[in-house]
Amino acid sequence: MRLKTKLAVFSGLLVFVALVIIAFLLLFFEKQFLLKTIKENQKNVSSNFVSVCSESIINEDDLLLVNYLDSLKKDSSIKYAVFLDKKNKIIAHTQTRLVGGFANASVRDENVIETTAPVAIGEKGFGTAKIGFSKLMIEKTVKQSLDLMLNRIIAASVIVFVIGVIISVFFVNMVNKDILQLVNGARAIGAGNLEHRIKITSKDELGELSEEFNEMAEKLKELDMMKNDFVSSITHELRTPLSAIKGYSELLLEEDLNDIIKNYTLTIRDNSVRLGNFINNILDLAKIEAGMVELDKKPGDITKIVQETLDFYKPLFNKKNIVFKSEHSGILHSINVDSDKIRQVLANLIGNAIKFTPEGGEVTIETKTVNNKAEIANSEQFTDYVEISVSDTGIGIPAEQLGKIFDKFYQVRGISAKGTGLGLSIVKGIVEAHSGRIKAISPSRKSGQGSEFIIWLPRQEIN
């Protein structure tokens, strides 16, 4: 789950939990308030009943008491109201049929809350006023009030929740925007783009982190420049003594040497050539990284360039008993490229195919014209491309390593044959300097095994 989703879910849950807690507290305190109000109302009704009883005695007005009892009958929460004399004789009752009888003090109804108050005038007592309130009606009244309030709370909560979610999403997007900038910046810097800078202007922790990232990128850039300068200087310094070693070894080979000395001299020469190629690769890579690739573009026949490179590798094909195929399709006119650089690209790819293909395997080089801008490039500058693919039936490249094989000094893990890790980086640099593109596929589209490298080179510019 992405951080944006986590923050949104967390914010939504936080708002939801807060609303639930607030709703619970509101209902709890509302219930307490209702019960308190009902209790005070019962107390007031009881007090009024006592006052009416006292006034009825003083004025000797039984009708006043009867009328008041009739009004109490209309209150559904009151089950009964009774005025008893000192001997528990019923003087007045909401149920008139019970008047004149005696109250049974031992009978108690669990569904009734009874209030009792003495009726006195001065210090002289005349009896007791009792009112029985229905528990069921009280509970029903409380429930109705709480249900009404709950509905209002739910309606308000939905509105608040929606507003809260909208605010949370806005906040999450604002924070996530800065986090995405950090992530993309870290990816760009990790991919080697040390010129990239993260633009976060906030003064919070994310802003401080972006400043640290930018400072780190600047230091890495300085270190990378120092490293490149050092490597370039060293390789240039090595060229002179290496050329001398190679030259003297070739002079020695022209002499009449015995077999042992001749083998030693051949070893010196071959290794000096190998080291010279490695130094040239480092210098080429330094030029590519500095954007200083020098191209001598001239119209050339791409099929001829491919065939010349294949002819150069024929002895190696024969030595490993590898079948090689060269296929051409489409109308292949001349293409404006640096022929030597393209030969270097093809030589590297074909050399790798031979290296990683077992004896009796197969290497196929296919050349054709294509017109597929959506797949090849994002630029509208070119319309037609020449596609060159080099496929083999070798060990292939693990899928998780395909995205790294063009990185400098990267070597595919799990294989015994190793190189310098510079060849494919140089190949990519040369192809991109021609405004082209290169892609690696494993397994190959043709054989279903091994690997395949596809190059697209622009054939014609739109005027």
Tell me which of 83 and 463 has the higher pLDDT. Answer: 83
CB 257 within 8 A of CB 223: no
Residues of the chain with pLDDT > 70: what percent? 91
pLDDT of 8 over the 60 cut: yes
* pLDDT for res 413: 67
* pLDDT for res 1: 64
pLDDT of 122 over the 50 cut: yes
pLDDT of 192 over the 80 cut: no
Cα dihedral angle (49, 54, 55, 57), rounded to 10 degrees?
Answer: 130
pLDDT of 372 over the 70 cut: no
Of the spans 33-37, 189-193, 242-246, which averages the highest pLDDT?
Answer: 33-37
Contacts of 169 (CB under 8 A, 6+ apart): 8, 11
Question: pTM (2 decimals)?
Answer: 0.53
Least confident among 91-95, 355-359, 445-449, 454-458: 445-449
**Where does 357-407 have alpha helices with state H?**
373-376
What tokens appear for 31 in the block? 């219930």
Tell me which of 383 and 445 has the higher pLDDT. Answer: 445
pLDDT in tens, 66-116: 888 888 888 888 888 988 888 888 888 888 888 888 877 656 777 888 888
Tell me which of 413 and 151 has the higher pLDDT. Answer: 151
Domain 3-139 has CATH 3.30.450.20: yes
Domain boundaries, the chain: 3-139, 205-289, 298-461
* pLDDT for res 330: 67
**Taking CA 420 as the corner, what is the angle to CA 417 and CA 424, rounded to the nearest 5 degrees?**
95
Q: What is the mean pLDDT of the chain?
A: 82
* pLDDT for res 381: 61
Mean pLDDT of 449-459: 87
The C-alpha atoms of residue 364 and residue 447 are separated, in whole angstroms, by 10
Contacts of 195 (CB under 8 A, 6+ apart): 221
**Taking CA 346 as the corner, what is the angle to CA 344 and CA 350, rounded to the nearest 5 degrees?**
120
pLDDT in tens, 10-54: 877 888 888 889 889 988 998 899 989 989 998 999 899 889 888
pLDDT of 461 over the 50 cut: no
Tell me which of 385 and 195 has the higher pLDDT. Answer: 385
Mean pLDDT of 375-399: 76
**Looking up tokens 């640099």, which residue turns up?**
429
* pLDDT for res 106: 52
* pLDDT for res 390: 92
Q: Is residue 42 helix, strand or coil?
A: helix
Q: pLDDT band for position 207 (50/70/90)? A: confident
Q: pLDDT band for position 454 (50/70/90)? A: very high
Contacts of 452 (CB under 8 A, 6+ apart): 389, 390, 391, 392, 440, 441, 442, 443, 444, 445, 446
Q: Is residue 166 helix, strand or coil?
A: helix
pLDDT of 380 over the 60 cut: no
What is 205-289's CATH topology?
Helix Hairpins (1.10.287)
Least confident among 114-118, 147-151, 226-230, 320-324: 226-230
pLDDT of 369 over the 70 cut: yes
pLDDT of 378 over the 60 cut: no
Q: pLDDT band for position 462 (50/70/90)? A: very low
* pLDDT for res 417: 54
Establish whether the linkage from the previous residue to 358 is cis, with ω within 30° of 0.
no
Q: pLDDT band for position 374 (50/70/90)? A: low
**CATH of 298-461 given 3.40.718.10, 3.10.450.50, 3.30.565.10, 3.30.160.100:** 3.30.565.10
pLDDT in tens, 314-352: 888 888 898 888 888 766 667 888 888 899 899 999 988
Cα dihedral angle (145, 149, 154, 159), rounded to 10 degrees?
Answer: 150
* pLDDT for res 416: 56
The C-alpha atoms of residue 160 and residue 150 are separated, in whole angstroms, by 15
Q: pLDDT band for position 383 (50/70/90)? A: low
Q: Is residue 419 helix, strand or coil?
A: coil
* pLDDT for res 463: 37
